[in-house]
Chain A
């Protein structure tokens, strides 16, 4: 890493190089909307089962409720998570993680890095784990989680999940106060690339998206998931879980979901996610016997 401030893409390339050098499969974003890197099948499905699995990838995270029309320097409806899964979790995983921060240019000894309790839960996926949010000088830089369950299935061995907030890390490295001011690569800012996208999607998610259509989509995708499960098609069944989850997120952004309705939607997604997880575990188990 040069002594100049790293660009946004320096940061991403740095993380890729660091984890590739430690034996991770460098995966890629999934092809449908996901709210977090955890939803990518490289995490959700591969965290299940006994096989070792080390993977790292960038994931555009689509969170309709977090959109702010590109007017708020800290909030984005589309942002980039950098996701690492190591299964089983290595003994020195904290040190390894800290070395990745040094690698992208943060001199840790000069800052206040802390592991602050944060028990992570993704109720729609029936996934939870224990761990921390990692702070650098009070800034939440990474979610660090020892998964305990995914798809409501107990995990063995235990994977560790690292989720870096790339915009925040880059803002920290570049010393800028708005994500849109980040230098993506010299001459191009994050705002050049994403501001219009933020404005348009915020308008769509908050004002335009048709509630009835989204409700219908939710039900349709749920049925397609069932149909796939009935035929043992785990992979497409899982994509329909993701599509249900996204339809729910849009409904939520439209303010069309009450507290009790939320519970019902979340439990519907969790239920199909659990069945996909169980089908996946059965499938890889059968594969091993064959």
Chain B
């Protein structure tokens, strides 16, 4: 015999985020709780249902009792439990007595750990009735529920929102328990307006009983219903919804008895940029904007209500009025901005402080112009593209003083783009203003235009250098300015646009551009820290592409350009698979180890007149030739060839160590030999720090 189990936790309206966490985590917790109390349930037996006012756990076919388990208690070792003729010794008799049994009931088993045999008293655990353990299961389910954010409302229990009723049934019997002043029973509550209190006879009737009280408790059914209704309303008109802010995840848990309706707003509002209208519909109201087949925004939208469908007309009219108000409010702000004009906004930037240590937004805008110019020069961008990049940089921050961005911070860049376009700036300039913030997510889209790529890089460098200069770098999980994403953006833009700029001079220029503000971290520290920080993002990008971390670490100290470092890393990765790679390691490792014995103040050129055995001059010549070939290859970005050229001198290196005593008695000779070895190692080290590689 088995019965179904139901626990319904009735609450005041739960946040959608809490509903999603419950759906993600509760099924596993239910399974592990049943396992912990040794009541066996099937792998597919657990179902968790969530709606705004309830969390329900349904478990099918719960057995009547715990599963009885074998309990084996170990007694004396077999050799001391029985005498030579197989009769129990006093030790065995004593053990049997202690276990209230007779020696003939004891079993001999091998202990797997020691390999020795012992006598055991084997019994079966007491299997309690499930009904006896369920109150505790219910209590623990409620008490240990995990939510991202908890509240108190007058009891020790913390929960997402106050708990107001409990239904707990095992078959048709109530599972009695009490928590936070609420006693379990069989009475649930229906929809707040449409339904009434409802008695649940047994768990199998739960879903239908609630449906009768106007609660569609199964979230899967609810979502399918909403989606089907949206399609039914939109498709005949050739429209489709968009949901860029993923409001469906919230709407789903804002309704117990959904009715999907279409509404509209005044057509003349379509003069506003679509982004503004979409934000007005989505951010507060959680409506779904409707687009036509060409992707143009219509003046219609879909929303989901929870009230009485008989009053749909009133409810629609109310929602339309609210949206109309929000749009008119946005329109009011928009018109103010248009009247002000983007040039005037740009002039007003000195009224807004960017950071109290490094001045105003105006100064920031000036830095963006300077940095964009530096980057354009570094990348050889001239003519119209350069001009447009500089224009975009000049206007980039203007919308920071707009009313719209003040109201809707998410629209920064978008409003700047819109206002620039409205005032007749070239489309590329307007687009670059928007693109300064790209990529705006981990795998987000990159700027499409060249001016936008330059400006976006300038914006990110300035943010990073400013934060390090103000001693506010990201630490641990704290990255309030989103600098990790910014650095990753620099890397991705550079790799996509094949920007070859060098980071160190860029960082130095960016620091100098901060001007004479006091209390800043000194330049060398800022530049070093910022470089390390940004290059770590490059390392991540390269390892994500499959280059090994050691390879990346070996090349990172050799350059400060993203593109260059990528070429070096890819070359070393390939070299490590080449047959001659061991030769390169030898050419590097022994000379480099010995070269450490060269006192730093003794570094200098090799003196051929001090050579002894002929192999010394030979190594010197071969090194010079190989270094020249490698240098040529590096110039042309052929790092693999450069490494192979240096690997080629291995036979000479081997012979050198066979025939030459490096640590000669005579100081001048010894130092000269160490200098040669330092030169050999140094040449390889310009390509890779091989000591960073394993083995």
Contacts and interface: CB of A to CB of B under 8 A. Distances in A.
Interface in B273-325: 284-285, 303, 305-308, 311, 314-315, 317-319, 321-325
Interface in A73-115: 73-75, 88-89, 91, 94, 108-115
6 contacts: A89-B154, A130-B149, A130-B151, A136-B318, A146-B152, A256-B351
Q: Name the residue in A114, A119, A138 with the highest tally of chain B Cβ atoms < 10 Å from its Cβ.
A: A138
Contacts of A89: 153-154
A158 interface: yes
A88 B155 CA distance: 11
A255 interface: yes
Interface in B313-340: 314-315, 317-319, 321-325, 328-329, 332
A148 B152 contact: yes
B306 A112 contact: yes
Interface in A3-24: none
Contacts of A72: 328-329, 332
A109 B153 contact: no
Interface stretch (B10-18, B197-205, B426-434): B10-18
Interface in A104-160: 108-117, 119, 129-130, 132, 136-140, 146, 148, 156-158
Contacts of A266: none
Nearest to A254: B351
Given A114-B306, A117-B15, A138-B323, A88 B332 contact: no
B254 interface: yes
B311 A158 contact: no
A255 B360 CA distance: 12
A133 B319 CA distance: 15
A2 interface: no
A255 B362 CA distance: 14
Given A73-B328, A256-B351, A260-B356, A146 B164 contact: no
A172 B153 CA distance: 31
A137 B322 contact: yes
B193 A113 contact: yes
Contact of A137 (B16, B315, B348, B354): B315
B332 A110 contact: no
Majority secondary structure of chain B interface residues (helix, strand, loop or mixed): mixed
A65 B317 CA distance: 30
Interface string B239-280: 000000000000000100000000000000000000000000
Interface in B487-529: none
B314 A111 contact: yes
A32 interface: no
B99 to A, nearest CB: 53
B472 to A, nearest CB: 9
Say which size band chain B's interface belongs to: 35 or more
A74 B154 contact: no
A192 interface: no
Interface in B177-224: 181, 192-193
A158 B157 CA distance: 13
B12 A94 contact: yes
A84 to B, nearest CB: 16
A138 B285 contact: yes
A137 B193 CA distance: 14
Nearest to A130: B151
A196 interface: no
A258 B314 contact: no
Contacts of B348: 255
A182 B314 CA distance: 20
B352 to A, nearest CB: 6
Contacts of A51: none
B143 interface: no
B356 A264 contact: yes
A140 B303 CA distance: 16
B161 interface: yes
B332 A146 contact: no
Contacts of B361: 258
B162 interface: yes
B356 A115 contact: no
B355 interface: yes
A261 B353 contact: yes
Nearest to B17: A117
Interface in B335-384: 348, 351-356, 360-361
A71 interface: yes
B193 A158 contact: no
A258 B315 contact: no
Contact of B352 (A136, A139, A255): A255
A40 B15 CA distance: 29
Interface in B629-656: none
**Ordered nearest first, which 5 A-B pairs have the shortest CB separation?**
A137-B318, A258-B353, A112-B307, A117-B15, A115-B13
Interface residues of A, number: 44
A91 B164 contact: yes
B13 A132 contact: yes
Instruction: Count chain B CB atoms within 10 A of each CB in A65, A110, A119 and give the residue with the most.
Output: A110
A190 to B, nearest CB: 16
A214 interface: no
Contacts of A177: 321, 324-325
Given A138-B303, A264-B356, 17 more contacts: A68-B332, A71-B332, A72-B328, A72-B329, A74-B329, A91-B164, A110-B307, A111-B307, A111-B311, A130-B149, A132-B13, A137-B321, A138-B285, A156-B152, A177-B321, A255-B401, A258-B355
A25 interface: no
A261 B314 CA distance: 46
A146 B153 contact: yes
B21 to A, nearest CB: 13
A255 B350 CA distance: 10
A233 interface: no
Interface centre among A119, A146, A157 (most CB of B within 10 A): A146
A71 B318 CA distance: 23
A257 interface: yes
A158 B356 contact: no
B12 A258 contact: no
Interface in B1-21: 12-17
Nearest to A110: B311
B325 A74 contact: yes
Contacts of A130: 149, 151, 161
A140 B284 contact: yes
Contacts of B314: 110-111, 137
A156 B285 CA distance: 34
A90 B164 CA distance: 12
A117 B16 contact: yes
Contacts of B52: 115
A75 B329 contact: yes
B301 to A, nearest CB: 11
Interface in A246-287: 255-258, 260-261, 264
Contacts of B355: 258, 260
Contact of B193 (A109, A172, A256, A260): A109
**Residue of A65, A88, A112 with most chain B CB atoms under a 10 A cut-off:** A112
A138 B351 contact: no
